[in-house]
Structure 1
Amino acid sequence: MPELREHPEGPVRLLGFWGSPENQELPNPADLVDPEWEEEERLSVADYLDHGQVAGYWMGSSRCRLCSRLNGSRDFTDGYYLWPEGLSHYILDHGVRLPAEFIDHIERRRNVFDELDRDVTWWRENAART
């Protein structure tokens, strides 16, 4: 069975955090808009992002850097990457394309889960004791 973690010793990689007038070291989402990005793949990536594990909460909501919409106050993770709650908005509503390495990561993760052996024995036995 494939491993669930690619880099267990490495840091979680940040994804989808944007620059601001005060911090211009981070990317500008407008530079990553790709109107040619296929809708089916965008929907799949956004779904993955929306189903991450909550990694933290912030005191206020972030605003979209492109349309000023309120965009959430949480961070999500899958144990490899960490992203802000509103990242799927950038993908679905603005066509902001994420790096191919991350798209490949999503596909590998989904394949790992599809290939898991499944055993209902534990659940059947323990549910009866509940």
Structure 2
Amino acid sequence: MSELREQADPPVRLIGFWGSPENRALPNPADFADPAWDEPERQWVADYLEHGQVAASWMGSSRCRLCSRVNGSRDLTDGRYLWPEGLAHYVLGHGVRLPAEFLDHIERRSRALEDLERDDSWWRRATGPT
């Protein structure tokens, strides 16, 4: 007899969590700065980051590691990646270019959403609260 086992989702991948004087194990955002990065692409990436789902909220706010701006107190996710709320600020304000693997993920996800087959039949039959 075989046992049915619920398969766990793979862990979310962290991105955009930066090192500090207290924790130098994480990357430095300055190492990712690309001032020549195309502005429309930066805006597109920042928009994606700003529209993640809230995964966690924290009691205190984070500050930008490059300019000390208050940068949010939440973690956001798309179900595959998890990032701090202020990551969009690094992209727009400092030209921090995220790894190509993440940019490819955004592209694939955006394309998949645009290509969704839409079915409105159940909605047409809706009659309101029951």
Compute the TM-score of the two structures, normalised by the length of structure 2: 0.90
- Give matches, 1:91-110, under 5 Å: 91-110=91-110
Which aligned segments of 4 or more residues in structure 1 are displaced greater than 2 angstroms? none
Q: Which residue in 2 is equivalent to 1:51?
A: 51
Q: Which residue in 2 is equivalent to 1:74?
A: 74
Name which one, 1 or 2, has greater alpha-carbon Rg: 2
For 2:85 and 2:16, how far apart are their aligned partners in 1?
9
Matched length: 122
Compute the TM-score of the two structures, normalised by the length of structure 1: 0.90
Q: Which residue in 2 is equivalent to 1:22?
A: 22
SS at match of 2:64: coil
SS at match of 1:90: helix
Amino acid at match of 1:117: E
Q: Which residue in 2 is equivalent to 1:129?
A: 128
For 1:114 and 1:21, how far apart are their aligned partners in 2?
42
Name stretches of at least 5 consecutive residues in structure 1 with no aligned partner: 1-7
Task: Give aligned-pair identity as a percent.
Answer: 70
Name stretches of at least 5 consecutive residues in structure 2 with no aligned partner: 1-7
SS at match of 1:88: helix
Amino acid at match of 2:115: E
SS at match of 1:26: coil
Amino acid at match of 2:13: R
1:124 CA drift (Å): 2.1
Alpha-carbon displacement from aligned partner over 1:54-89 (angstroms, at most 9, x marks no partner): 000000100000010000000000010000000000
Q: Which residue in 1 is equivalent to 2:5?
A: none
